Chain A
């Protein structure tokens, strides 16, 4: 398969310059792919899909009654990020997560940023994800976002923007690790020529960070992963992470709070739990504190957490900074808490609760992307240029009825990357989700999930909406130029 007929169509392409030449850091990859015999890439692709199916690496689709397990579509052509580009992303994410933690801690304590008028109080206190139950809580090191999966996109100019912060229970990191395994198994030659930074230290880093949160006095802290269960769309990831860290995967019904401490039910009786990496939303965490009808949660968990008897990651209540209206204020937060300009810019955002913004949005629905403030996964959004008149009318009605709940952004010309379609390459829009761990220090996994909108022209990359993924290679410093000589992976 060759790239000779590949078109960039005026979009920023991750591999090719506008004039059709490969960018310097992908030259070797292009060379290797073009040197494969006819049909080899397709054979690799089928081998990869078989492997994923055999390994049972699947996700569940809500509302699909036909058994609903699918493999996450996987494109063989990796996305490569040169070291210099990555170092900017890394610094930008560290800065952003640091500011977000400061913000959340401020909101649940003195609320200085509100008192100083940087952000209007009503924006925060009206956020669905603001939890008054968390007021005054002091998580270790005042960290509220332990695991983050920030969504980045590039516009036509190739610049990276932060699209969403995903602070609550971000998923997808297991695909980063599994994609790499698959690519190494079926495509080993490519790794030999490039110095690709490994991603497989993630589970150890995660475990280390989680153990560091243990309440005082836990000599050998017991960490568990809390999952909603096998019907959750990210169940594979929950069990994968538990397995990789060598810790237990528990469901709410496995845990019980007794005497203010959290225990798990074992065949030999109750055993204490110190740290919970919870993959259950705030609402379902504890029926005594949040939604009373939750069957997934553990009664009394929040009280144990509040008393410092157990650690929760991510911290309940951190979603207040994940609201899409609050997102619009992150650049101000960075200036306020860090005293610096943001390294990674936001996508310009119109807030429909502001009269002027709303008027503009209602006038320009056909050009904008409208999002619900508190939804994720590509649900509840309108992509203006791809919408019908009746969809726009419906959204206009919803915006007028509840302006606080909607934001709008210009439709970005997301960057594209060559993707195998049938027997040739076509450009498909991509985003990038790097993963950040934050305990005492902030660690950015050198890699990430590149999500691909597999449908031609589509801008929606979410797996629930038919998106796929690519392995993402971050090159080690000093390796930004491709060299044809062999060099083994460091």
Chain B
């Protein structure tokens, strides 16, 4: 066993850092959802109606949206997902929550990280006051770039200590969850007609999906032809692409082992055991089997397992105290 670190990490601080990272990743992914859907709608054949309901569905928050009583128009959905202060998973709420968490651990993270989160906050609050963005893709790009910048700053200004690994853990788990939901969008989205399956129009949608996770180019290099099962394999099981579920879980697992100091292949707590199991499952999974059992069903169970891992992390590391600022979930 390692000697106690000179500067032990407060449970509350670990919790806040972990959630700060999750919220930033969540904000980035919601911006990606909106961007890809907007892009898709532009490619719809003339005469077919816009579909904005599917991206509400993939967040898992359809009920909350419906309570608000609006139709699933572009305006309503973008307002809800991007700017609604009352909806805890909107980009706005995520960035506010990330900032609240960052504020409570300002002495742990670097000043540069804090300033970057703060400028994201100023960006999103200014846009919220102004109303819907005139050029939606530009707004989504700004959010994406701001999140990239945050991670770059974190990488280079914060010591890669225990708190940093909690940041990585939160970020990777959130990303694995969101990529799995992105992949699920094809389950919810309706093609203009059943006969469109496998047509060029179908290909347009799959391409847009890859682009939404910045995976189009990397996919092309690896598999060339656009094919649904290869895309599922790429986004779920790839061991090199940074937004793939398996890759994200591998990094999450590494972060967790760095936190506990347990050797790889062993586990010292529930979270390590669960995450290790899920990781191995993906390490040895075959896409044919997944598709055979139903992709949507697989993704659903994947998300359930990741939620359970999150619960275990809370139990193992944060549970000794009341929860910090948390917008939702």
Contacts and interface: CB of A to CB of B under 8 A. Distances in A.
B8 A268 contact: yes
**Consensus secondary structure, chain B interface:** helix
Contacts of A247: 107
A286 to B, nearest CB: 17
B8 A55 contact: no
Contacts of A253: 12, 321-322
B118 A250 contact: no
Interface residues of B, number: 30
Nearest to B100: A230
A53 interface: yes
7 contacts: A56-B115, A248-B7, A250-B10, A251-B12, A264-B8, A267-B8, A267-B317
A230 B321 contact: no
Contacts of A250: 10
A239 B13 CA distance: 12
Nearest to A244: B107
Interface in B48-64: none
Contact of A249 (B5, B11, B107): B107
A248 B100 contact: no
Interface string B18-50: 000000000000000000000000000000000
A243 B11 contact: no
A371 B15 CA distance: 44
B177 to A, nearest CB: 23
Contact of A266 (B11, B115, B322): B11
Interface residues of A, number: 24
B106 interface: yes
Interface in A234-273: 235, 239-240, 242-243, 247-251, 253-254, 264-268, 271
B118 A54 contact: yes
Contacts of B150: none
Closest 4 CB pairs of A and B: A243-B107, A266-B8, A242-B107, A239-B106
B270 interface: no
Interface in A111-155: none
B125 to A, nearest CB: 9
B106 to A, nearest CB: 4
Contacts of A251: 12
Interface of B: 4-5, 7-14, 100, 103-107, 111, 114-115, 118-119, 122, 162, 259, 317-318, 320-322, 325
B10 A254 contact: yes
Most-contacted residue by chain B among A251, A264, A267 (CB, 10 A): A267
A265 B118 contact: no
A243 B111 CA distance: 9
B103 A248 contact: no
B85 to A, nearest CB: 10
Of the listed residues B13, B115, B322, the one surrounded by the most CB atoms of chain A closer than 10 A to its CB is: B13
A229 B104 contact: yes
A271 B4 contact: yes
A54 B99 CA distance: 13
Contacts of A249: 105-107
B9 A266 contact: yes
Given A54-B122, A230-B325, 7 more contacts: A53-B122, A55-B115, A235-B103, A249-B106, A266-B8, A266-B10, A271-B8
